[in-house]
Amino acid sequence: MLGDSPAGWGVYLVATHHYTGDEWEQYCLLLARRHYGADQVQEVPARHGGDLGIEAFTFNGRAFQCYAPVEPLSTAERYEKQRDKLSTDLRKLTTKQKELQKLLGDVKIRHYIFLVPIFDSAHLVQHASIKAEEIRSSSLPFVTEDFKITVATDGIYATERGEVLERLASLVDVIPTPPGDISSWIEGNSQLTETALGKLAKLRLPSSSQRSYLEQLVVQFLDSENALMRLREKYPDQWEAATGAKVRKERKLVLEYPPGSTNSAADLTSIVKSLKEDFAHQVPALDETFIDAMSWGSIADWLMRCPLDFETEDAS
């Protein structure tokens, strides 16, 4: 059974970034739901009712606590923080036993799983063994006589981890820009938008739709710029790779799409398709939604500045 298998043999995602506490908790609960069944895992929100020392439990007797200290840390520092967190949360099984009894009902906890991103100290296992004995000796009504604690990374759910990672998770969400911000940006950047409108007038677009087309491009531009800003804050290496891919494409625009070779909205769509392929190949950590926004946002950027331009069909 995976929930009882040895742990600590590797960390899959930590190599790419450090988790926040909320990110790690949601990731761990996703793994647990996939392994035990979504209808068998009960999350325990701490916001209303207080932290009871567990973040979820299964109806067959497993409890989960997920903890990701702020990295980077030395092995000794990490051990101390993990040890203290484990001690603090296990103490709540005793100090808040009335609340836990109401929460668990007829469920008895047999296996307490302490999930951490990095696990590199045998002392933590020793500490967990001592604490498990203390809990068994406490004769808590919702804990079994063979209660045990496992310290583990996400490697304990290796199959589920692979399934989750095959469905590439968003490094950052592309959050829609509020309409008011879009209007304000257009008004405050009239020169850029007029430049883009002048270029769009050369395409085979009805004059009545050119303005709305530009507005949608600005939406993509602002969405992608905001997403890139969050990417830079959380994953600077991925931001550098993404912006680098965009710069490399921009430098070849005139060679790949010389003026006169593009004179319709369909041509823009073709450039976007090429951009998506480039981004997906050069920055594989980016998800499809991010790549789509960044590709169209790049088109808007290039239209408002000058890397991308068109000529009318009858240009000599």
Could you report the per-residue pLDDT of 194-216, keeping only the tens digit for each?
888 887 777 766 777 778 888 88
Per 3-state DSSP, the chain is made up of helix, strand and coil in percentages (nearest 5) of: 60, 10, 35
CB count, 10 Å around CB of 76?
10
The domain ranges of the chain are 2-166, 179-304
- Three-state DSSP at 19 gives coil
Q: Are 116 and 154 in contact (CB under 8 A)?
A: no
Strands (E), 84-158: 109-115, 143-152
- Six-digit token string for 153: 């990374």
Per-residue pLDDT tens for 136-174?
999 999 999 999 999 999 999 998 887 766 655 577 888
DSSP letter at 17 equals -
Task: Compute the Cα dihedral for 241, 243, 246, 251 and give only its sign.
Answer: negative
For Cα atoms 59, 64, 70, give the angle at the middle one, nearest 5 degrees.
160
The model's confidence at residue 316, banded by pLDDT at 50, 70 and 90, is very low
Query: What predicted TM-score, i.e. pTM, was given to this entire model?
Result: 0.52
Per-residue pLDDT tens for 251-302?
887 788 776 666 666 777 888 888 888 888 788 778 888 999 999 998 888 8
